[in-house]
Structure 1
Amino acid sequence: MVGGKKQLVSVRLCHADVERIQALASRLRVRESDVIRFALRLAFNRLAPLLDEQARGRDLIPIFLECGPELTYHFDLEPRALEAIVNDGLDDPDRKVESHDIELLAALHLPGYHLPARLKYQPKPETTSQLPSGGLQQYLYAKYVQPEAVSGRPDISAGPSTAHARNRTPLPNAAALDEAAQLSSFHNK
């Protein structure tokens, strides 16, 4: 909006998306533009931590655990670009996300059969020889968002976290990543 006024924006959509918008508008008995604005608000709410210029490193782990597969797939984010988004401009090494964990985040959108090859050269997590039984999401959450859960004491250096607002249900690919990591560790023995 310019000066509080609405602005006209042109967006190219595929035919299937237009049909979905029309179907939702018809079902809800609203205008198609209302459906589009609602979808945008939902996306902005989910991606709010990325709008915060101060959020860096471990502060962004919850958003990438929740939306990472969709973000990395839709925007074709390779590990190098993802690392720049997460760690760029961060001087505090305690708040940085390690490169091998960024690789894991970037691999979340891959189909299960691609994961063993992608994880083959990844270093193992420090705590065990394979990912914890709770999955990749729990490993990264415990390591970066609530490290006190692993160490038993609060981590005051972590800074603000967006974890309280994140949905912590397991990602669909977390089980596939666990299985791939186990296969990878089995093949490396």
Structure 2
Amino acid sequence: MQQEQKTFRRIVTGHDADGKAIVITDAPPVHPQLVGGPGGPTFFEVWHTLKTPALISLQPSEPEENGLVLPPPKNGTRLRIIEFPPEGEDFRKLMSADTAAEFKSMGSEKTSSAGEPPPHPLMHRTKTVDYGIVLEGEITLVLDRAETTIYAGDIVVQSGTNHAWANRSGKACRMAFILIDGEFSNEFNHA
């Protein structure tokens, strides 16, 4: 049985006509999306910026986006919360589905497709630097040649690596992710 996660709020600040700081919105996130059906993770798209440096306006408006997009906009950033349920029978069914098509629909065509079986069926790679912060629970970070379990309060700096998240704990895990658009250095041409 999946544990019910506490809802969180998204507070967006801005400025009034006199340039004084105010709260624009204070509510639960507006874009929760279940990925892969029952047993899959729930993505909460919190905010994204379109460029760096980010344009700061008096009254920030809700960023527009159609559907779930895994990476941030080109030269932009993305903040999302993901709730990972434990990997149970429902998840095993999800894993047998066409995960490459699922990732492609989210703008990440670089899923694991090497000749040998990947260490986890949801392996993927984005041209980003991601800061992943475990807020509640625990989860295992799976890489091509390593894995490590991270716990509430731990932070991962994921630097364009092929990876997956495996919740083997039996309890839900909630993580915050800050994704920053990047590009691979010329070193990757020789790797």
TM-score by length of 1: 0.28
Q: Which has the larger strand fraction?
A: 2
- Which protein shows a greater Rg? 1
